[in-house]
Amino acid sequence: MEQEGMHYEGFCIRPPSEADSILLQVTVGCSHNKCTFCGSYKDKRFKIKDDQTILDDIKFASRYMHRQKRVFLMDGDALIIPQKRLLWILESINAYLPWIERIGVYANVKSIRKKSPEELQQLREQKLSIAYLGVESGDDGILEDVNKGTNSREQIQMGQKLKQAGIKISVTVLLGLGGRDGSMQHAKNTGQLLTEMDPEYVGALTVMLIPGTPLYDKYERKEFELPNQEEILRELREMLKYTNLSKGLFISNHASNYLPIKVQFPGDKQKGLDMIDSALKGEVGLKPEWMRAL
């Protein structure tokens, strides 16, 4: 009996830029799954899917998904898969889907640390050419508060490790994560981290409080106060001010944001700052609260 579709478990998440990719779920959940702001994988216990299910999905894609040129490996952290199995997955993709141009993956500090530079280069040779990192903040105090399980120095080192293997990095940072009190420090330190890491892509999202998460509980107890709309814009401006990328793209076009900006470094930085200034003066319309989403 022919397989009727891909095998997906639970609510699946992918980066916005992977909307047109073949979504291959090779892990379920997130290997860390302790961040206080995140509710994405609370319903899933982390596991690596069995080889036969993964291979069946690759074969299904080989029959029905010839138009897509990219593959994205879900769930939260597929890079954590032991090297031998991960290489087998990539080799199988390339064998059955030879037209694929790029394979992407979510990664975190723990999973990058487990891979040697030579192993990362092996993965790159099998078309794994972009990794998405949830950096969130460059401020060590905030990273500890949100239970990220790492610090800014380690994040920079692991990002550079990927880049040295020829794997592009797309970083996510979270506006508002430091609350009102830590807003400007969060912005400055995050901009400085981005400058040192020098990723190819940066996506700035805005914190959305999700019921059932520890951060939401902290908000309910009035121990965490979200910056208001104007404060978020000032935070975005401060972060951009301290960010200097060699050739990277800094965007804030996610559905959670009030103001979409697109800054191609090095030339567009001042235009981005000017646009935020115009928004602060009320000269540029902002997304209304009811339209914001995860």
Asked if 78 and 51 count as a contact pair (C-beta separation under 8 A), the reply is no
Percent of the chain with pLDDT over 70: 96
- Tell me the average pLDDT of the chain: 92
CATH architecture of the domain with residue range 16-284 = Alpha-Beta Barrel (3.20)
pLDDT tens for 139-151 read 999 999 998 889 9
pLDDT tens for 2-37 read 567 889 887 778 888 899 999 999 999 777 777 877
Q: 79-88, 197-206, 238-247, 283-292: which range is least confident on average? A: 283-292
pLDDT tens for 158-193 read 999 999 999 999 999 999 999 999 999 999 999 999
pLDDT tens for 256-288 read 778 888 999 999 999 999 999 999 998 888 887
pLDDT tops 90 at residue 43: no
Kindly state the average pLDDT of the residues 40-54. 83
At 284 the pLDDT is 83
At 285 the pLDDT is 81
For residue 70, give the 3-state DSSP assignment: strand
Q: Which pTM value belongs to this model?
A: 0.91
| Tokens coding 88 | 């087998």
Asked if 224 and 192 count as a contact pair (C-beta separation under 8 A), the reply is no
Query: What pLDDT band is residue 255 in, cutting at 50, 70 and 90?
Result: confident
Using CA atoms, how far residue 139 sits from 14, 71, 191, 245, in Å, is 26, 33, 10, 19
b/e 110-126 (16+ beta carbons within 10 angstroms → b)? bbbeebeeeebebbbeb
**Top-confidence residue, 260 or 120:** 120
Sequence-separated (6 or more) residues with CB below 8 Å from residue 23: 6, 8, 12, 14, 71, 72, 74
Distance separating alpha carbons of residues 248 and 198, to the nearest angstrom: 7
Q: Which helix (H) or strand (E) holds 274?
A: helix 269-280
Distance separating alpha carbons of residues 252 and 240, to the nearest angstrom: 11
pLDDT tops 60 at residue 87: yes
Name the burial class of residue 97, with classes exposed (0-12), middle (13-18) and buried (19+) by CB atoms within 10 angstroms of its CB.
Answer: buried
Distance separating alpha carbons of residues 135 and 155, to the nearest angstrom: 7
Kindly state the average pLDDT of the residues 74-86. 92
φ, ψ for residue 124 (rounded to 5)?
-60, -40
